[in-house]
Amino acid sequence: MRVWFLSAGLALMCMAQNAAAGTVLIVGDSISAAFGLDTRQGWVALLEQRLKSEGFNDKVVNASISGDTSAGGQARLPALLAEHKPELVILELGGNDGLRGQLPTQLQQNLASMIDSSKASGAKVLLLGMQLPPNYGVRYTQAFAEVYTRLASEKSVPLVPFFLEGVGGHPEMMQADGIHPAVTAQGKLLENVWPTLKPLL
């Protein structure tokens, strides 16, 4: 009888853990798609390892596409939300918008729409902020960076102010193209995100 109760108790614990497991959906560009690297080396793969090591059962769905813009992410998001029904959506977009000189106002509209859609589906949202190199001019780079802080405030979503903090502008942390983070930078990217991400799990 004691063995039966023990077995039943273990089964219930497993069921409870599985029920508590959620889905983390990452919608990003080449940085989260691990461009130029084996995807097993990217920060998203490191996140999956971190989740397991800390006892989280959450599933990670990486829907990042190299070269994607906020408009592309906005167009793809409804189908992703319907398919995966995530509890948490991480938005890592905007870098390509900035590199193409697109209007910050358009970036803000696209990200705002993605935040609203994610929330309407019942998901929490984590916004990863981006910044541009200074050669794009003070006015543009400032307006671009302010998009993320403004959205975080207006939409009441947590923000990582600069996802590439400690990586961007450091040649030893970048691939030869000077745009994409190297293998050595992936752990730093995860550390930039983890303190803000963990309380949302």
pLDDT digits (tens, 9 = 90+) for 80-131: 999 999 999 999 999 999 999 999 999 999 999 999 999 999 999 999 999 9
Residue 112's domain spans which residues?
A: 27-200
Count the Cβ atoms, other than its own, within 10 Å of residue 25: 25
pLDDT score at 21? 81
Q: Answer whether residue 2 is part of any domain.
A: no
Q: Answer whether residue 170 is part of any domain.
A: yes
Q: What's the per-residue H, E or C state across 178-192?
A: CCCECHHHHHHHHHH
pLDDT score at 89? 98
- List the catalytic residue out of 30, 32, 64, 121: 30
Q: Answer whether residue 113 is part of any domain.
A: yes
Q: How many CA atoms lie within 13 A of 191 on its CB side?
A: 8
Q: Among 32, 101, 17, which residue's Cα sits nearest to residue 66? A: 32
Q: Is 30 a catalytic residue?
A: yes
- List the catalytic residue out of 32, 70, 118, 180: 180
Q: Answer whether residue 5 is part of any domain.
A: no
Q: Answer whether residue 17 is part of any domain.
A: no
Q: Answer whether residue 37 is part of any domain.
A: yes
pTM: 0.90
Q: Answer whether residue 10 is part of any domain.
A: no
Q: Is 177 a catalytic residue?
A: yes
3-state secondary structure of 166: coil
Provide the CATH number for the domain around residue 56: 3.40.50.1110
pLDDT score at 19? 42
Q: Answer whether residue 103 is part of any domain.
A: yes
pLDDT score at 20? 58
pLDDT score at 1? 52
Domain count, the chain: 1
Q: Is 180 a catalytic residue?
A: yes
pLDDT score at 14? 45
Please identify every stretch of the chain with a pLDDT value under 50, giving residue numbers as ranges.
3-19
